[in-house]
Amino acid sequence: MEGKNNIYNDNKFNIRNMMNKGILSSFFSALVAVFLGLIIGFFVMLIALPANALIGFRHIIVGGLNRIGDVFYYATPILMTGLSVGFANKMGLFNIGASGQYTMGMYFALYVAFMWDLPDSIHWIVACLAGFVGGMIWGAIPGIFKAFLNVNEVITSIMFNYIGMYLVDMLIQGNSAMYVSDKTRTQYIPAEVQMPSLGIPNSNVNLGIILAILIGILLYIVLQKTIFGYELKATGFNRFASEYAGMKGKRNIILTMAIAGGLSGLGGAFGILAPSGIAGSSMTYEPINIIAPAGFNGIAVALLGNSHPIGIIFSAIFISYIQRGGTLASLAGYKPEIIDIVIAVIIYFSAFANIMNTAILGFIVRHFGKGRKSGNTLANDDIKEAE
Amino acid sequence: MVKVVDMGEYIIEMLNITKIFPGIVANDNITLKLKKGEIHALLGENGAGKSTLMSILFGLYQPDSGEIRKNGKVVQINNPNDANDLGIGMVHQHFKLVDIFTVLENIILGVEPNRMGFIQKEEARKKVVELSEKYGLKVDPDAYVEDITVGMQQRVEILKMLYRDNEILIFDEPTAVLTPQEIRELLQIMKGFAKEGKSILFISHKLNEIMEVADRCTVLRKGKCIGTVNVKDTTKEELSRMMVGRDISFKVDKKERKPGDVVLSVKNLNVVSKTHGKNLVKDVSFDVRAGEIVCLAGIDGNGQREIVNAITGLEKPTSGTIILCGHDITKASIRERSIRGISHIPEDRHKHGLVLDYKLEENLVLQRYWQREFQNRGFIKFDSVRKYAEKLIDKFDIRSGQGPITITRSMSGGNQQKAIIAREIDKDHELLIAVQPTRGLDVGAIEYIHKQLISRRDAGKAVLLVSLELDEVMDISDRILVIYEGEIVGELDPKTTTVEELGLYMSGAKRDNVKEINDGREE
């Protein structure tokens, strides 16, 4: 429409222009989702135990501040699985198999840690790389099924969660060098193979979080600046157009799933190789037939971060933060599950964040904008349809 | 023809309607008055505000100012249900049907006759059959919508309006998806409605159709009402001047040109459908030479799409060879064909031609982003992309809200098509394949696209045009190959043939043995 040139010429500061850039809008919608999630969480606490609601809620909000090192410690695995899910999502693939890839990553890292004899200086690095490879294999297989047989990756990767978990449990239980049967877990990973700690007293924070953030930034660069990222996003937006433009769709599907799997696998390696004072949270694997929750938390992280690598860095840290606060809420007599409800509500809201974003920013523009009577923020879509 | 009511009465009046979307005035003080029993055309380019105005009448949008009257009384239309209660029905450009329901179920959807919650289908069927017979709207009430042709789907939409006893019928670009035969039928049906006393609003930018059926015509341009004229007192030229604001030449200016070497040679091409095993393309052979426009003419769905897909590599042919500039490309990848010199303006610009969520500049390099000019060791050179995009935007006059960084989805259809054409023409090519390049576009854009195609021909490129528009076929091609049920049934020279003859070939009523003609020439 010719009239839209008006916007082009209008350089004045304006919420709409910032919204059009997309950054503000997804950030804003994540904030709104968090805000609403917290409010509803507060009401849940109020119903569960009215007397302590305020104290418990305070723990959730600011509790994480007291344990900031642990916030980062727990953020590392879910940041990696979040990046994994978000990266695949950019290509229009739903990698629900992050858990299986995470588990495979843990196993590969454990295997290298226990079974290979390597110099201390590179042992943990090789173990991490092995984790990457393990996850990569577990991600690539659904990718191959998708590319050549057009099998929905959601189904294969869910199945691969189970296959991976049982396979790893079986392999670990059958390996007497790693498995201590009377403790029903593996031995602790020797200190030489653990990730270097950042040396902050009273916390378990280690190099993993730094690496994970760097990987997030690297992914951002890949997606925004490279040909591979261009092809990947184009395929995600419109598979037919990417085919028309001669992109190698099959290769890109397999590559994307392999990288996504590798990221989850690396998350598994970071998780299990981390030095930790919190019993059972790291350094050992318990084959107890449970699918790793880190994978599903990764889906939540990716959703809240709008699949944007930088957004995912923040959302992983945020979710870890609120989880730490949630465990503290038990001091006020709440079950830790309360915080899972709050997180679920936040995710629930971020899932339809765009709608809220439209409604709320539309409201702001309408009432505080430049006095335009109609401030429908869906303008572009409307005009498109009006044509 | 006896009009049932006196023509002085206005059944619908839309007075001083203004609708503002942020950044654009879609309707600026527009007044439209519809008489009972008339066919009133609403003419305008893409983005002139036609659909917005009709959406207001149908209750999808609220006007910012102005009022709507029915039979002189002010009415408030808050949603389509209100519109329906007032007897206003609309056939949308994109049909609103439930694919997995039958025709009958779609027609009664929302107004199901029922007794204590149980649908009375027989009652509904009787009414639907009556209506369909009365107006000559042939449909099978028990067919599933996903199985019937686009033309029949449209008849279902029309029956939906009739079933609801609507007396004001809005048709939003109803002919865009139809074959020439179906268009003729539809126009007859519309005339029948008007004779019955129903009032019709006919949105279109096809001047021939307006001249044929409409009584009056209101012209919109850039959201403003340019005027309302009696169709019998005006000419096509005057209407197009009102619509575009300048003179449009309907006759394409084209110089004689001798074709050069063979660029594309298709030999014995066969395509067998994967879904139902039928032969969609049967032993098709033809050449396209440098400096000529060859048009593949035919009714939609006679194998054109499969031939184009085989040439561009989107689909593998079952047998046959395709030779481009002396190279056998039958098994080449899409990218390789593109590098060897095929440019392709696809039939569906939203499905294949553009990544709608990408910026305009990103779409403009969709065929070239991997080239040296735009990348360095796998990193895209965004400076070069921006410069290149600005060059194309300037050269091809692509209009958009924010220039290179406009999200392509927000651009008008005509400008989206211009972007594709700019991209495909500016890329190195020997063969340009254009599939229905003017579909759904307005007169100004069509004129522009025709000029571009001819400029390619004059630059010594081979052009293969696939078109359903007979006028377009006759005007710009140098050679016409008519395709019917997957076979080439005739080769015609547009200078010596007529539209009628072309129509006979297209409908399968007439055919030459083209294979013999071709073989004879080779020897």
Residue B286 lies inside a defined structural domain of this protein = yes
Is the four-CA dihedral B204, B207, B208, B211 of positive or negative sign? positive
- A230 contact residues in B (CB cutoff 8 A): 362, 369, 380
Q: Look up the domain containing B226 and give its range.
A: 10-244
The kind and range of the H/E element at B35 are strand B24-35
- A226 contact residues in B (CB cutoff 8 A): 378-380
In this structure, the answer to whether residues B432 and B482 fall within a common structural domain is yes
Kindly determine whether residue B333 and residue A243, on different chains, have CB atoms separated by under 8 Å.
no
The predicted-structure confidence for A96-140, as pLDDT tens digits, reads as follows 999 999 999 999 999 999 999 999 889 999 999 999 999 999 999
Confidence of residue B521 (pLDDT cuts 50, 70, 90): very low
Is residue B19 within 8 Å of B50, Cβ to Cβ?
A: no
The predicted-structure confidence for B340-363, as pLDDT tens digits, reads as follows 999 999 988 888 999 999 999 999
Distance of alpha carbon A173 from alpha carbon A160, whole angstroms: 19
Q: Which residues pair with B67 in a beta bridge?
A: B15
3-class SS of residue B469:
coil
Compute φ and ψ for A138, nearest 5 degrees. -70, -25
Give the CA count within 13 Å in the CB-facing half-sphere of B35: 21
Q: Which residues pair with A179 in a beta bridge?
A: A186
Distance of alpha carbon A266 from alpha carbon A260, whole angstroms: 10
Q: Where are the beta strands (DSSP E) in B160-308?
A: 168-172, 199-204, 216-221, 224-230, 262-272, 279-289, 293-297
In this structure, the answer to whether residues B167 and B271 fall within a common structural domain is no
Kindly determine whether residue A237 and residue B335, on different chains, have CB atoms separated by under 8 Å.
no
3-class SS of residue B228:
strand
Q: Quote the pLDDT of residue B174.
A: 85
3-class SS of residue B375:
strand
Kindly determine whether residue A373 and residue B55, on different chains, have CB atoms separated by under 8 Å.
no
3-class SS of residue B199:
strand
- A373 contact residues in B (CB cutoff 8 A): 20, 64
Q: Quick one: what percent of chain B has pLDDT higher than 90? A: 49
Compute φ and ψ for B301, nearest 5 degrees. 85, 20
**How many Å is the Cα radius of gyration of chain B?**
25
Kindly determine whether residue B358 and residue A379, on different chains, have CB atoms separated by under 8 Å.
no
In this structure, the answer to whether residues B171 and B283 fall within a common structural domain is no
The predicted-structure confidence for B226-267, as pLDDT tens digits, reads as follows 999 999 999 888 888 888 777 766 666 777 778 889 999 999
Kindly determine whether residue B366 and residue A241, on different chains, have CB atoms separated by under 8 Å.
yes
In this structure, the answer to whether residues B187 and B64 fall within a common structural domain is yes
Tokens linked to A383: 């005009």
How many C-beta atoms lie closer than 10 Å to residue B252's C-beta?
A: 16
Query: Which one is predicted more confidently, B523 or A290?
Result: A290
Distance of alpha carbon B39 from alpha carbon B31, whole angstroms: 17
Q: Are strands B118-119 and B216-221 parallel, antiparallel or unpaired?
A: unpaired
Choose among A238, A246, A379: nearest Cβ to B338.
Answer: A246
- A363 contact residues in B (CB cutoff 8 A): none
Residue B117 lies inside a defined structural domain of this protein = yes
The predicted-structure confidence for A17-58, as pLDDT tens digits, reads as follows 444 455 566 777 778 878 888 888 888 888 888 888 888 888
Compute φ and ψ for B518, nearest 5 degrees. -65, -45
- Best A20, A90, A387 member to test B by mutation, with max B CBs in 10 Å, is A387
Kindly determine whether residue A230 and residue B335, on different chains, have CB atoms separated by under 8 Å.
no
Q: Quote the pLDDT of residue A13.
A: 44
Tokens linked to B326: 């002396």
In this structure, the answer to whether residues B238 and B282 fall within a common structural domain is no
Residue B2 lies inside a defined structural domain of this protein = no
In this structure, the answer to whether residues B227 and B266 fall within a common structural domain is no
Select from A161, A89, A143, A160 the least CA-distant residue to A258: A143
Q: Residues in chain A whose beta carbon is closer than 8 A to a beta carbon of chain B?
A: 1-8, 10, 16, 20, 225-228, 230, 233-234, 237-238, 240-248, 365, 372-377, 379-380, 382-387
Distance of alpha carbon B329 from alpha carbon B313, whole angstroms: 9
Q: Quote the pLDDT of residue B201.
A: 94
Confidence of residue A8 (pLDDT cuts 50, 70, 90): very low
In this structure, the answer to whether residues B268 and B236 fall within a common structural domain is no
Largest Cα–Cα distance in chain B?
78
In this structure, the answer to whether residues B165 and B293 fall within a common structural domain is no
Instruction: Give the closest-approach CA distance of B280 to chain A in angstroms.
Output: 21
A·B CB contacts under 8 A: 142
- pTM for the predicted model, two decimal places: 0.76
Is the four-CA dihedral B435, B439, B441, B446 of positive or negative sign? positive
- B351 contact residues in A (CB cutoff 8 A): 238, 240-241
Residue B71 lies inside a defined structural domain of this protein = yes
For residue B225, what is the domain's CATH number? Answer: 3.40.50.300
Choose among A226, A228, A237: nearest Cβ to B355.
Answer: A237
Residue length of chain B: 523
Number of domains in chain B: 2
Q: Which residues pair with B119 in a beta bridge?
A: B114
The predicted-structure confidence for B132-150, as pLDDT tens digits, reads as follows 888 888 888 998 988 887 7
Confidence of residue B454 (pLDDT cuts 50, 70, 90): very high
Distance of CA A94 to the CA centre of its chain: 13
Is residue B223 within 8 Å of B56, Cβ to Cβ?
A: no
Instruction: Give the closest-approach CA distance of A350 to chain B in angstroms.
Output: 21
| H-helix segments, B12-102 | 50-57, 80-85
Is the four-CA dihedral B492, B498, B500, B501 of positive or negative sign? negative
- B224 contact residues in A (CB cutoff 8 A): none
In this structure, the answer to whether residues B118 and B213 fall within a common structural domain is yes
Q: How far apart are the first and last CA of chain A?
A: 9
- Average pLDDT over chain B reads 87
Select from B273, B252, B436, B280 the least CA-distant residue to B344: B436
- A387 contact residues in B (CB cutoff 8 A): 46-47, 51, 412-413
How many C-beta atoms lie closer than 10 Å to residue B289's C-beta?
A: 18
Residue B346 lies inside a defined structural domain of this protein = no
* Position B136, amino acid: G
Closest chain A CA to residue B381: A225
Question: Using alpha carbons only, what angle is made at residue A181 by residues A175 and A185, rounded to the nearest 5 degrees?
Answer: 80
Q: Quote the pLDDT of residue A201.
A: 78
Question: How does DSSP assign B407-454, residue by residue?
Answer: BGGGS-HHHHHHHHHHHHHHS--SEEEEESTTTT--HHHHHHHHHHHH
Select from B432, B431, B430, B409 the least CA-distant residue to B419: B409
- Best B17, B19, B21 member to test A by mutation, with max A CBs in 10 Å, is B21
Select from A106, A109, A75, A99 the least CA-distant residue to A290: A99
The predicted-structure confidence for B428-439, as pLDDT tens digits, reads as follows 999 999 998 987
Instruction: Give the closest-approach CA distance of A223 to chain B in angstroms.
Output: 10
In this structure, the answer to whether residues B17 and B118 fall within a common structural domain is yes
Residue A361: exposed, middle, or buried by beta-carbon count in 10 A (0-12, 13-18, 19+)? buried
How many C-beta atoms lie closer than 10 Å to residue B122's C-beta?
A: 9
Answer whether residue B420 shows pLDDT above 90.
yes
- Range with the poorest average pLDDT among A168-177, A365-374, B202-211, B371-380: A365-374
Q: Does B351 touch chain A (CB under 8 A)?
A: yes
The predicted-structure confidence for A330-352, as pLDDT tens digits, reads as follows 888 887 777 778 777 777 776 66
- Range with the poorest average pLDDT among A2-6, A247-251, A317-321, B275-279: A2-6
Q: Which residues pair with B272 in a beta bridge?
A: B279
Instruction: Give the closest-approach CA distance of A306 to chain B in angstroms.
Output: 15
Tokens linked to A335: 């079950």
The kind and range of the H/E element at B467 are strand B462-467
Q: Quote the pLDDT of residue B413.
A: 79
Instruction: Give the closest-approach CA distance of A387 to chain B in angstroms.
Output: 5
Instruction: Give the closest-approach CA distance of A231 to chain B in angstroms.
Output: 9
Select from A15, A31, A26 the least CA-distant residue to A366: A15
Question: How does DSSP assign A39-77, residue by residue?
Answer: HHHHHHHHHH-GGGHHHHHHHHHHGGGGGHHHHHHHHHH
**Angle separating helix axes A249-273 and A68-90, nearest 10 degrees:** 170
Instruction: Give the closest-approach CA distance of A35 to chain B in angstroms.
Output: 28
Kindly determine whether residue B21 and residue A376, on different chains, have CB atoms separated by under 8 Å.
yes
Residue length of chain A: 387
Residue B371 lies inside a defined structural domain of this protein = no
- B25 contact residues in A (CB cutoff 8 A): 3
In this structure, the answer to whether residues B269 and B234 fall within a common structural domain is no
Instruction: Calculate mean pLDDT across residues A295-324.
Output: 91
Is residue A126 within 8 Å of A118, Cβ to Cβ?
A: yes
Compute φ and ψ for B26, nearest 5 degrees. -75, -40
Instruction: Give the closest-approach CA distance of B493 to chain A in angstroms.
Output: 32
Q: Where are the beta strands (DSSP E) in chain A?
A: 179-180, 185-186
Query: Which one is predicted more confidently, B205 or A56?
Result: A56
Instruction: Calculate mean pLDDT across residues B196-219.
Output: 90
Q: Quote the pLDDT of residue B515.
A: 52
Answer whether residue A14 shows pLDDT above 60.
no
In this structure, the answer to whether residues B162 and B288 fall within a common structural domain is no
Kindly determine whether residue B379 and residue A226, on different chains, have CB atoms separated by under 8 Å.
yes
Distance of CA B232 to the CA centre of its chain: 26
Kindly determine whether residue B409 and residue A245, on different chains, have CB atoms separated by under 8 Å.
no
Largest Cα–Cα distance in chain A?
76
Distance of alpha carbon B363 from alpha carbon B361, whole angstroms: 5
Q: Does B176 touch chain A (CB under 8 A)?
A: no
- B366 contact residues in A (CB cutoff 8 A): 234, 241, 245
Instruction: Calculate mean pLDDT across residues B494-517.
Output: 75
Choose among A227, A233, A241: nearest Cβ to B354.
Answer: A241
Tokens linked to A162: 């189970």
Compute φ and ψ for B14, nearest 5 degrees. -110, 115
Q: Are strands B118-119 and B168-172 parallel, antiparallel or unpaired?
A: unpaired
Answer whether residue B5 shows pLDDT above 50.
no
Kindly determine whether residue A387 and residue B378, on different chains, have CB atoms separated by under 8 Å.
no
* Position B148, amino acid: I
Distance of alpha carbon B441 from alpha carbon B412, whole angstroms: 10
Domains of chain A: 68-325 (1.10.3470)
Residue B252 lies inside a defined structural domain of this protein = no
Window 401-420 of B, Cβ < 8 Å to A = 401-403, 407, 409-410, 412-413
Tokens linked to B362: 């990103």
Choose among B49, B334, B409: nearest Cβ to A246.
Answer: B334
Distance of alpha carbon A68 from alpha carbon B44, whole angstroms: 63
* Position A51, amino acid: A
* Position B262, amino acid: V
Closest chain B CA to residue A375: B22
Residue B167 lies inside a defined structural domain of this protein = yes
Q: Are strands B114-115 and B118-119 parallel, antiparallel or unpaired?
A: antiparallel
The predicted-structure confidence for B62-118, as pLDDT tens digits, reads as follows 999 999 999 988 999 998 889 999 999 999 877 888 988 999 999 998 888 888 888
3-class SS of residue A201:
coil
Is residue A307 within 8 Å of A89, Cβ to Cβ?
A: yes
Window 244-303 of B, Cβ < 8 Å to A = none
Last residue of a domain, one of B184, B218, B244: B244
- Average pLDDT over chain A reads 83
Choose among B352, B379, B410: nearest Cβ to A225.
Answer: B379
Q: Quote the pLDDT of residue A356.
A: 64
**Angle separating helix axes A309-328 and A53-62, nearest 10 degrees:** 140
Last residue of a domain, one of B183, B209, B244: B244
Choose among A365, A376, A387: nearest Cβ to B51.
Answer: A387
